[in-house]
Amino acid sequence: MIIGVPKEIKTREYRVGMVPAGVAALTKKGHTVLVEKGAGIGSGIPDSEFERVGATMIKSADEVWRRAEMIVKVKEPLPPEYTRMQPGQIIYTYFHLSGVDPELTRVLLRKKVAAVAYETVQLDDGSLPLLRPMSEVAGKMAIQVGAASLEKEHGGKGILVGGVPGVRRARVTIIGGGVVGSNAAKVAVGMGADVTILDKNVNQLAYLDDVFLGRANVIFSDMETIAEAVREADLVVGAVLVPGAAAPKLVSEELIKQMSPGSVVVDVAVDQGGCIETCKPTTHDNPTFEKHGVIHYCVANMPGAVPRTSTFALTNVTLPYAELIANKGLREAVKSNRALARGVNTLDGHCTYEAVAHDLGYDYVPLEDVLNGTAPEPKAPAPKTSGKKTARREVRVSAKVARERAR
């Protein structure tokens, strides 16, 4: 198989979809790996390292996309890349289709691209192995950037997260006790903050209580406990995840208005639409904005700021599935691996991931039907909307498209 690794074009996205070890593993199996020149520079990987292990270095992104049967990336394709997609091509990357430009899904369906999304590859125990390392990075970063945003020069209250003797510590509220939330809590507790973690899973709460030995408050999450914890917080971290689907809005704009001026919110779920109503995607160029006196940090590719760590952590877990696809072909690979099968969001012009189909208004077609040839002929990719809901959706769509194209 011919595998292409283009340079990421998202604002200040320094990660790369494959490292030299991955190239070596694939070329030893007889595959061809095309790497765009300069793709690894941001992660501290010079072109010479890729060449040394057998990669073919390509000057043009257009050529990488044109020649490759499978594209391996980090972030979702952006508008300049839509025209580069080839009919029937496999694209293996983070997509977050429910939270990004809806035009991307239309292009994937129209071109019958096989979209294999890192974030929905799911093991039988419910864990998300390709999302976990970036969630760990984002969770830890959330406290770092939140602590910086609390500084007065960045618009915050001027509070030191850990406080000092005689002065109270910062109150940190973390909504969601999964991978992002638990890693955020580790850093916040380590810095000496007064930490509260909210989650609906009582088993997870019991686990977190054991892990933190009483150094963090673990509370069952409902709208009342969220409201109370958010109002009292200096820093709120949104760490909610519904695999593949849009994040639920758990913090309303009205609740944000009740926070004290100079408070900070960091919405790690922003790439899935965000769990804080007032959040909108930002970039590393302009990471924060102020609304109702509250500083919002909503960068959709937070781990891109620490690419050396993030690239190697990510490719450690993505490579085995890339090898499986390359060695067997996508159809046989997903038939042999249920976790990988759950990662297929679109195939042959059909939306094969139910949460994405629901959120974007497409007909859901089970992957098994597509693989078995029993799926109906794909329709023109136009989502189903009606009435006032249509108008609201179109306003959101236009805003998202404008933001993405401005990056």
Q: Which residues are catalytic?
A: 96, 271
Residue type, 371: L
Closest CA to 267 of 81, 139, 365: 139
Distance CA 147, CA 392 (A): 35
Give the total residue count for the chain.
407
Token look-up 């590393």 returns 284
Distance CA 73, CA 143 (A): 27
Residue 303 CB contacts under 8 Å (≥ 6 apart), including other chains: 15, 134, 137, 138, 141, 309, 310, 314
Using alpha carbons only, what angle is made at residue 86 by residues 400 and 395, rounded to the nearest 5 degrees?
15
Residue 70 CB contacts under 8 Å (≥ 6 apart), including other chains: 1, 2, 3, 4, 89, 90, 91, 92, 322, 325, 326, 330
Cross-sheet strand order for the sheet of 56-58: 56-58, 32-36, 2-5, 70-72, 90-93, 114-117, 344-347, 350-351
Q: Which residue intervals of 111-178 are DSSP H helices?
A: 132-149
Using alpha carbons only, what angle is made at residue 360 by residues 354 and 361, rounded to the nearest 5 degrees?
80
